């Protein structure tokens, strides 16, 4: 089964990495057919449930389509390939175009695809049985049948200011969900956030059915985190008010760790220098992370990545702009 993922262009590499990590979390092997800033096309073993599972997990994709064909972005090539790749199911049809180029006007492309695919079919633009989607880039067009639309509006509805408890430093829910996915945590695994704050990362993991554990040195944060989790009717969690160095007393091992390290004046370190706190945090993470497990850590400075590298293996780094002048570095580490 060949799938097209229509990617959000909010980040250059994060959408692709999120998909590949989610496939691994769902224990689905894939081979990559095509990859660029607009689409990721993969070949996977047929699995009737995997598309909906991915649609529930992903934050930086818009649609998942089953590939019919891809070819150069010329009308002659498109029509020729369309004739060679007929639809195999009956029913009404609508044709949509995700146009990310200036090569061909969207309606022109739709009209040419329609000459092939609407013969002997009813066109129903509102409630079609089949939605044919074309992703047009500057040089290539990808054509497939829509299998899932990924509704990302719910992430906006969980922004920090809409939760019962708010702190000044809060990750956007889309970023938090992507970090959870980068950890490759499985549904039966346990995810820990040792600097859980208001619980944004725990919230995104728990919403996709992952058991979570959170800890924080501040009691008010633990109380606020509990309020946020309960607000969304989540129950499969444990929270501890404890220093990062003592979490091992309560949590001897976990499958994945996802956290955003304290970095600003708004966070509390009880007077400890940040560099020393980071060293202790990475040491603790390396002690409780299971073999081959992943830790995804948000850092304020790319130079801090090397501290984690003393304890864990660096897999990848994803810089994400938080504000005009602030970039967060989300680093994926692996237990050796």
In tens, the pLDDT along 66-76 reads 999 999 999 99
**Stretch 20-24: mean pLDDT, rounded?**
98
**Residue 266: per-residue pLDDT:** 47
Residues in Cβ contact with 143 at an 8 Å cutoff, skipping those fewer than 6 apart: 67, 68, 69, 70, 78, 81, 82, 85, 113, 132, 133, 134, 135
Percent of the chain with pLDDT over 70: 97
CA distance 26 to 45: 12
Q: Is the dihedral of CA 34, 292, 209, 327 positive or negative?
A: negative
pLDDT score for 268? 56
pLDDT score at 201:
98
Pairing of strands 313-323, 254-260: unpaired
Domains and CATH numbers, the chain: 2-149 (3.30.2130.30), 153-334 (3.40.50.150)
| Residue 321, pLDDT score | 86
Average pLDDT over residues 136-158: 96
Secondary structure letter of residue 123 according to DSSP = B
- Contact between 330 and 318 (Cβ < 8 Å): yes
Tens of pLDDT, residue by residue over 164-186, are: 998 877 899 999 999 999 999 99
Residue showing tokens 């304020």: 300
E-strand ranges in 111-253 read 130-136, 140-149, 191-193, 212-216, 237-241
């Amino acid at each position: 089964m060949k799938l097209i993922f229509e990617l959000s262009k909010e980040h250059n590499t994060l959408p692709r990495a999120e998909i590949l990590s989610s496939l691994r979390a769902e224990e689905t092997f894939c081979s990559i057919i095509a990859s660029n800033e607009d689409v990721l096309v993969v070949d996977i073993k047929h699995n009737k449930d995997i598309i909906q599972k991915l649609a529930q997990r992903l934050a930086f994709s818009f649609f998942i389509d089953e590939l019919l064909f891809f070819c150069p972005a010329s009308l002659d090539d498109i029509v020729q390939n369309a004739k060679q790749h007929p639809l195999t199911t009956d029913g009404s049809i609508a044709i949509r175009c995700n146009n990310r180029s200036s090569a061909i006007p969207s309606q022109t492309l739709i009209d040419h695809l329609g000459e092939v695919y609407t013969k002997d079919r009813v066109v129903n633009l509102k409630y079609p049985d089949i939605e044919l989607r074309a992703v047009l880039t500057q040089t290539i067009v990808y054509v497939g049948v829509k299998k899932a639309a990924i509704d990302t509006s719910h992430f906006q509805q969980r922004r920090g200011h809409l939760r019962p408890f708010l702190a000044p430093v809060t990750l956007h829910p889309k970023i938090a969900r992507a970090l959870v996915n980068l950890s490759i945590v499985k549904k039966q695994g346990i995810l820990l956030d040792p600097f859980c704050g208001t619980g944004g990362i725990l919230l995104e993991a728990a919403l996709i059915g992952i058991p979570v554990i959170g800890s924080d040195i501040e009691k008010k944060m633990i109380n606020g985190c509990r309020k946020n989790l309960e607000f969304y009717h989540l129950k499969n969690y444990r929270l501890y008010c404890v220093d990062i160095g003592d979490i091992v007393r309560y949590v001897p091992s976990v499958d994945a760790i996802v956290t955003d390290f304290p970095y600003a004046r708004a966070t509390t370190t009880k007077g400890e220098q940040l560099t020393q706190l980071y060293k202790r945090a990475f040491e603790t993470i390396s002690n409780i992370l299971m073999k081959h497990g992943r830790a995804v850590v948000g850092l304020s400075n790319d130079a801090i990545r090397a501290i984690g590298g003393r304890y864990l293996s660096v897999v990848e780094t994803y810089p994400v702009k938080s504000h005009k002048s602030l970039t967060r570095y989300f680093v994926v580490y692996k237990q050796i």
